[in-house]
Every structure is written in C-alpha cells, then in structure tokens.
Structure 1
C-alpha cells in the first residue's frame, strides 16, 4: 500500500468514527448495536461468539474441564492460545481468561474445545462456573488470543509447567502428536504432590504416538521447587533447547533466572503467567504517591514498601471498578486517567502526564495520580 493510500484509508477511518460517534453517541457501531440486539437475543455480544457448554468434567477435587461447542462462525485457534469467556452472573457480566487445553486437531475433528480450570479458593467465578453450567448452558467466547505458541523450527524443546500451567502444553503436545512431529520435547511438570498432576495417564499414553516426548513428573512435596540441579539431573542438555515455562509467577521467575544464568538467550526463553505477573518495579515508580478518585472524592497514599496496582488500591479503599482477568488481557478495567504518570507493569512503559486511558490492573502510580473514578 502506498503512502497516499494509507493516508486516504486513515482519513476514511477517522471520518467513519466521527459519523458513528455523531449518530450513535458511541465510538464504534458495535457498542450501539449490542444492547439493541440483546433485546431479541439475550447474551449476544458484538465482539464475541456464542458457545454451548456440553459437559463439566471433573479432573480433580478442585479442577474441572468445561467442554464447549463454539458457534460455527468462530475462527478456531492455535495450540497454546487462550480465550476470554464471559457469562452472566446475577445480572452482571463476568469475564475470565482461560487457556484452551485441547488441541486444534480435536476442534477440527469434533467442533469442540476444552477449558481446564482450577477453582480459586474464595474465588467468585471459577467455583460458580462449575455449578452454574453443570447442566449445560450458553456462554460467550472471544477470538483466540496469545503468542505463547509452539516455536518454529526443529530445535529441541524443554517445557516447564507448574500446576494448571500444564493446560497450554497439553494442547501443544496433542497437536504435535496428531501431526506426527519428530521434534524432541522434554516436559518437566511440577505439582504440589503426587496426586495433583493433571492428565497424568494421558501424557504417558501420548508418548506412544509422540516418540520424541520425554516426561518428568516432579513432586514438590518430595523434590522441592524448581532448581538448577533439577534441570541438570532430569534434562542435562537443557542449555541447548528452547525453553517454554507456564505456571505460577514465582516458579516462572525462578525458571527464567536459572535458564538465563546457564547462558540461554532471552529469545529462547518463552513464558506465560497463570495469574497476574509479579510487580517488578523500577526505582522511578517506587515511591509514595497520592491516588485521587475524583468522582468518589477520595484521596489515598500509596506505600513504596508494598506496591499495589491501581485496581488493588481502589478495591482496598471500598471502590468496585469493573474488572475481569486482572492480568492486563481482557481490558475490562480500562479507566480514564485525568493527570499523573503511571507505570504499566505489562509493557514496562510509563504514561505521559496528561489525560489518557489506562488499565487499572497493570498500572502502578509513579507520581500523584487523579482517576475518573
């Protein structure tokens, strides 16, 4: 596309947005159409697809799998990707992000996908989903998202999983077996005890159709947490492999440090957090500031010794802003910042000092901040 064509397209897009805003008082047409359509089709969303819950399959005492049939117009996914699932609870829309634990091959053959979910102790949504859809029902799902994917090439892989962080690896390994991959893959799977490995028998059977797969089931009760010694003992050639890590943030941090310390370049270390990433604050964002919630008429001080996201600050002071994944993924907690500088823990960047949209769940005050809340 030439520069003049690009300029023309941008001008046309701005004009369309202006017309849409003038006519509908919304920034995009979907926001205007959605509530009208919901009068006829309750639960319909312009930016998502309907999916039918066919089964809630128990895996362990606190883990279950939702078996979904997405509508025929859903675009499918790549192994390792996740979706946003939304459902209505007590009249309010609840949104959570879950990795797809089944393979694209399974979806192509059956039209079904699986989400394997650990119930969060004291959680509002994950225990409720299990109960609310035990007899089936409909939910909305987004397009598949995420870049935690099977790496290109044939370089041997080391997959390090912790707890329910096994789910994207299950999808990848099922797909690799379906495609008769000859790649060498070593899976080290950490669980809290010998009764907590998900899909234990399934992975063992998978080796029959995937001869390049090696499994190491790590019992943290006996062997402790991940260590450099573990990698040397169970996967002696790990420094020659690409490494993929998924699980709790503490495990990911330890695994990354071990791999980097062994000389593995950062481009060959891939990771995805199951839950919010830890707050790794630069010195410029590490201070005591005042966060003002303009509409509520509240102003509170932050504590540099216990950094919190702006979402946590709001909730700790009695506010209930809309939120979903708490990981910077679903964008439900976007808020207007009136002034001040925030540090985005997901991108590692600072905002400017003026007004602008921020995501509360991944933003930390790095100056006095005024929010439209």
Structure 2
C-alpha cells in the first residue's frame, strides 16, 4: 500500500498574528489553502515568513487569530497532534542514527506497528531514491542526499500538510535546481499539500501554485506565479520580483490607465497602479529585461545613458548604466554593449509600472488593472 497523505478540503489562517515583546512579527495573515496546493511564503529576511510557518507548525503560539482545517480549530492543539510534517533548513537529522532509523523515528514515536514502520520507511526511501543508502549515517551523505532524508522522514508520516522552511538554502546552485524538481515531483505524485518558505523568487515562481509575498509581517500580495510576475501589487512586490529599476518621478498627467511621468531629465509613459493624480510623486518600476538599447534619443520612454559595467550571464548580458543626470539603471540584453558606450535605452509603456510613492499608500494600492477573472 503506497504512502497516502491524509486529506482535507481546506486550511484557513484567519487574522493570524504573532508578536514578540509587543512588536508584531506577523499581523493579520488571512489565507485559505486548498488541498493539494503548493503555497510559497516569499519575502526578504525578517518579513515574517518563517514566523508564519512556525505558527502553522505549532512551534509558536498565536498572539491573535486562529487556524482551522475544514472548520475545526487546530491552533489550540500541540504540534504533535496537528498531523503536519516539517522539513527544516538545517535538515535536523540525528547524526548517530542511520538513514532508515531517522525516517523511522517519527513513526516509532507514534507507536505504529513494526511492520507498518518498515513498510513506510521502505516506501519513503524509494520515493527519494535512497534505498542503497538506508544503512549509512547522515554524515556519509551529500547535502542533497541529507535533504532527501529529511523530506522522506516528513512524508513517511503521511501528514495532511508538509511544511518546508528554506530547505534548499544550504545547497549549491546545481543541487538546488535538482531538488526543486524533486520536491515538486513528490508533491504531485503523493498529492501533498505543501507550504514552502523561501526568499528566492525564482525558486518560488518555479515551484508554487500560489505565492504569498510578505513584508514587515504583513501580506503584500497573494497570487499565482504569473500574476505576481506580471502584475505586482505595489512597488515593494515589484522590487522583490525583479523590477530592479525603481525611479522616483512626478506625474504630469493621467490618461485612463496610462500615466505620463517625468523627472531627472527623462519622460516615461506607463501603466498606473493604484490611485495617482497629476502632480503626485510616484515610484516607477521597470525590469532590466524590458529595456532595449536601440532607442531613438529624445523620444518618450527613451533614456540616454552610459554603460558602466557588463556581466556575462550565459545567454544574456547584464549591464549597469548611468543616465545623463546620474540615475543608476540596469538592462539585460542578448548582445553585449561595451563599457563606456553611449546608448539610448527604450522601453514599451506596458512594461513601465507607475506606483504611488508613499509607502503606506503603495502597500494598499492593490493589483494593477487587468481582467476581473484573474484578480486575487
């Protein structure tokens, strides 16, 4: 009988908060997770993502709010009664126990019959392709193999929810890519429900069904990878999702969804996000990959700049540039410019996002205008 995680219909975090010494590390988190979803909690260090995970796991009590599974509260239960599996950043394997015994440990603590423990251990080893390493100690394994043991230990419990706290951060780049695919394969093949913490936006985009972006303990946006990539709700999300060019400009006029902005010797037309009006200070976000270096000087959405730095990144070249008025800019192109070249950077209006510059207003702005059916 194959491993079969216990199912549920939905898990709800309702106004969940956690404070330390009167200061909120997590505030008013509202999220409903459907069975079988892969949810990534994403954000920079200190944003509250690990706090949220530890509250879910029962390792931290809630200061406010509640956690429910199919309408029944689970935040009042101790962690061992929640039927969740946990994969830690540092693996948390017992160094004196073999791989098989590490996987069996949680099952034995639940006092399962010996033959049931043996069956689950064998199936978990097969799932992560470590059968031939069953008798080895963790110290005899590579980092990627140790992480597979940690994952096997979690799924052997047949949990209704798997929690992963930056499980790939200690691996090298090649192993991270391999383990991303492995975790996604296990999630799909076992029908797991997974909550995954990471600060790596590429990792989250490639793995998750939905992303939850946090900043200073508060949710900034919840959506699919495509929604967050193409329609960041505010400039904080845009910054985190790779819109590396952030320019502080002033609104000249607004024509429907288009905003005409200027400052620092440049004029741009872009998509307005949130409520802005003529004369407002705004923050404009542009991805490096959306800039071309073949524009016409003097035209709107063209910026004259000098190339300062060129980095080869495989198929593309990343360039650091400086405008005539000293703005630092970044472009990503297929062909390499030369350091010292004078170029004209150009960008299409649909690739220019114009956000309210005020911090609080930006956080509450909501997503850019788009078809109603894809709003989160």
TM-score, normalised via structure 1 length: 0.30
| Rg comparison, structure with higher value | 2
Greater strand share, structure number: 2
Q: Under a length normalisation based on structure 2, what TM-score does the superposition of the two structures give? A: 0.30
